Amino acid sequence: MTAPRHTMPPSLDDIAALAEAARDALPPVYRGPARAVALRVEDFAADDILSEMGIDDPFELSGLYDGIPLTERSVMDQPDRPDTIWLFRRPILDEWVEREEVSLDMLVAHVLVHELAHHFGWSDNDIAAIDRWWE
- pLDDT tens digit sequence for 26-42: 999 999 999 999 999 99
Q: CA 45 from chain center: how many Å?
A: 12
Answer yes or no: is 60 within a domain.
yes
Q: Judge contact between 118 and 70, C-beta under 8 A.
A: no
Domain that holds residue 37: 12-68+81-130
Answer yes or no: is 33 within a domain.
yes
Answer yes or no: is 3 within a domain.
no
The domain tally of the chain equals: 1
Answer yes or no: is 121 within a domain.
yes
Q: Is 67 left (phi over 0), alpha (psi -120 to 50) or beta?
A: left
Answer yes or no: is 74 within a domain.
no
- pLDDT tens digit sequence for 116-134: 999 988 888 877 777 765 5
Answer yes or no: is 31 within a domain.
yes
Average model confidence (pLDDT) across the chain = 88
Answer yes or no: is 108 within a domain.
yes
Query: In terms of C-beta density within 10 A (0-12 exposed, 13-18 middle, 19 or more buried), how is residue 29 classed?
Result: exposed
Answer yes or no: is 110 within a domain.
yes
Model-wide pTM > 0.75:
yes
The CATH number of residue 121's host domain is: 3.30.2010.20
The confidence score (pLDDT) of residue 86 equals: 98
